[in-house]
Amino acid sequence: MSTVNKVYTSLRGISSVIKDIGRLREILSILIKHGFGVLITRLRLVEVIGVKNLSKNQDDANSHYSTSQRIRMALEELGPTFIKLGQILSTRPDLASPELIKELQQLQDQVPELPFEQIQAQIETELGQPLAQLFSEFDRRALACASIAQVHRAVLAREKIEVAVKVQRPELTNRIERDLNILYFLARRSEVLAPDLALIDPVGIVHEFEKAIYQELDANRELTHLQRFQEHFAAFPEVKIPIPYPQYCSQRILTLEFIYGVKITLAPKQFQLKPEELGPRLMRVLFRMIFQNGFFHGDLHPGNILVQADGRLVLLDFGMAGRLSRPQRDHILDVMIGISQQDYALVARAFYDIGIKMPGASYDYAAFEHDVILIMSEHFEDRTLGQIEIGQFFMALVRGAIAHNIRMPSTYTLLFKALMTVEGITKNLMPNLNFIEEAQPLVQEVLAQRYHPRRMLQDGGYLLLSMSKLLRQFPDTARQLLHDAEQGRLSFRVELKQWDCWLEEQRNLRQSMSLSVGFGASIIAASLALDSGPEGWFGLNMPSLVLYGIGAILGFLLLLRHWR
């Protein structure tokens, strides 16, 4: 078959799933230019390009760059969708090597500023009024320009307040949809034609990326994040969060208070501020987000952290944020305690509980704990706490977990990236800053809250409800098992090497159930005894006081077992 016929046949099949063949050709050509022709060959897409010799299309000027550098340069040339993909991959040490992550963190948006007429049209379409009625001043030149949006300084016409207006690029959604269509095509093709690539779940990665980029494209979502950060730091004078103006916002427009400041890395010289004050201040802000608020900024690079002349920190760009439930915060707290006390077993258990266990895979906790101990030894032994790189340690743990079929949830990888970025900024300001030591006051405060009697009783109540639900479901589950056994559909597979672990788990379960029943019975009995005698201490009669005391002790023992 001639080359022309091969190209025609290939394109006819691909065009049924690809909306823009021209864009696919452009993407493949850029990948070949940067030395990734082997990948194109493996995916059997050479005919789409219509060339016989891929090496002739490769740019020899790129040959002296490393693979990671060439990936970064290719993503930059491919445009907004792929730049954002690279930025998200930079938070995934389970998918990218340390060298690639470091390179992806340097991704730059190299896009020209849009003509003012397009920006004006976008604002008027989104906000439904002429620009002159909305703003008494509006700078035609952008303050900042990126692949997703550009920012202009303006003054609100009615309020006479100076603001920054973030305007999303017109037609951006259509371009991203086109690129996502191609990414899904390439991912599915990879899973079929490149089994080694299938192991990292390319389609799943693209799906996760799709959710992330559409969330970041929604300015209303960023507005919600901004308002939440304002609420959390309202009584925290060391931090300034810009005031948003919702009436001048839409899905593609974000208008907020204009704040003057300089990048945190330039502040010590610009304002003669002490680095030993700025570094710990930034750490306290991040730790407060993690342990107290459970809601953290996911993109704390120096460009998003300004400093005012009085030393206050100003946070910007709230499109990427992460949430941590109370149990998730407890796990991170356990890790921090384990690091400070060199308790390797506590760190291993906390990370094991954090991870997502891959379906159908086998697990060996002893081997996992052994590898965690090796990683901790590598990062902590013969080092002072000030020399420890906590962000690098977390990333190493994430990569190590993959070998045991355990994947970290994306919230944690985003958190670890934030920790690593802030650690880098603070150590640039103060090379000997002790990351763990700075966290201690807040860790102690959160620990006190964890072991407060009110919370322990609350957690005990939750555990009791969970056990009650389990007991209610048990008859139906047992009935189904018996039915399956009668029908010959029940089979057992026992691995003897896990037998001791299983027996230990059963002993722990029985003990936990006994404590739960005792706790529940004590609380119920104490409540029923409230009216059985005269009031004493704390407004309770003696029987109720004794029963509540027994319940508190049993609840405490139950929580200790749960936390271990």
- On the CB side of 329, CA atoms within 13 Å amount to 21
CB 240 within 8 A of CB 246: no
pLDDT of 558 = 59
50: left (phi over 0), alpha (psi -120 to 50) or beta: left
Q: Taking 90 as the threshold, does the pLDDT of residue 158 lie above it?
A: yes
Q: Which of the pair, 105 or 491, is modelled with greater confidence?
A: 105
Would you call 257 helix, strand, or coil by DSSP?
A: strand
Element (H, E) at 135: strand 135-138
299 given a catalytic annotation? yes
Whole-angstrom distance, CA of residue 27 vs CA of residue 33 = 10
Strands 239-240 and 313-315: parallel
Condensed to tens digits (0 to 9), the pLDDT of residues 286-323 reads: 989 998 899 999 888 888 999 999 999 999 999 889 99
CB 37 within 8 A of CB 55: yes
pLDDT average, residue stretch 100-109: 80
Whole-angstrom distance, CA of residue 117 vs CA of residue 110 = 21
CB 553 within 8 A of CB 546: no
Return the percentage of the chain with pLDDT > 70, whole number. 74
pLDDT of 381 = 80
| Measured CA distances, 444 to 441, 449, 457 (Å) | 5, 9, 20
pLDDT of 439 = 74
Strand partners, 253: 167
Whole-angstrom distance, CA of residue 429 vs CA of residue 437 = 16
Residue ranges of domains in the chain? 3-108, 111-259, 262-449, 453-563
Q: Which amino acid is at 27?
A: I
Burial of 238 (0-12, 13-18, 19+ CB in 10 A): middle
Other CB atoms within a 10 A radius of the CB of residue 177 amount to 14
Q: Taking 90 as the threshold, does the pLDDT of residue 222 lie above it?
A: yes
Let me know the angle formed at the C-alpha of 30 by 29 and 31, rounded to the nearest 5 degrees.
Answer: 90
Other CB atoms within a 10 A radius of the CB of residue 532 amount to 10
pLDDT of 251 = 95
The model's pTM is 0.73
pLDDT of 497 = 47
Condensed to tens digits (0 to 9), the pLDDT of residues 338-375 reads: 887 788 888 899 888 888 887 767 778 889 999 999 99
Condensed to tens digits (0 to 9), the pLDDT of residues 253-278 reads: 999 999 999 999 899 988 888 888 89
Burial of 537 (0-12, 13-18, 19+ CB in 10 A): exposed
Report residue 112 CA to chain centroid gap: 30
Q: Crossing angle of helices 21-33/3-14, nearest 10°?
A: 120
CB 200 within 8 A of CB 53: no
**Nearest of 119, 126, 129 to residue 152 by alpha carbon:** 119
**Which is catalytic among the residues 299, 317, 334, 459?**
299
Condensed to tens digits (0 to 9), the pLDDT of residues 531-557 reads: 555 555 555 566 666 666 676 776 666
Band of the pLDDT at 408, cuts 50, 70, 90?
confident
Whole-angstrom distance, CA of residue 214 vs CA of residue 227 = 20
Can you spell out the DSSP letters for 256-302? EE----EETTTHHHHH---HHHHHHHHHHHHHIIIIIISEEES---G
Condensed to tens digits (0 to 9), the pLDDT of residues 328-338 reads: 888 888 888 88
pLDDT of 197 = 72
Whole-angstrom distance, CA of residue 14 vs CA of residue 12 = 6
Residues 6+ apart with CB under 8 A from 45: 10, 28, 189
Would you call 453 helix, strand, or coil by DSSP?
A: helix
311: left (phi over 0), alpha (psi -120 to 50) or beta: left
Strand partners, 357: 406
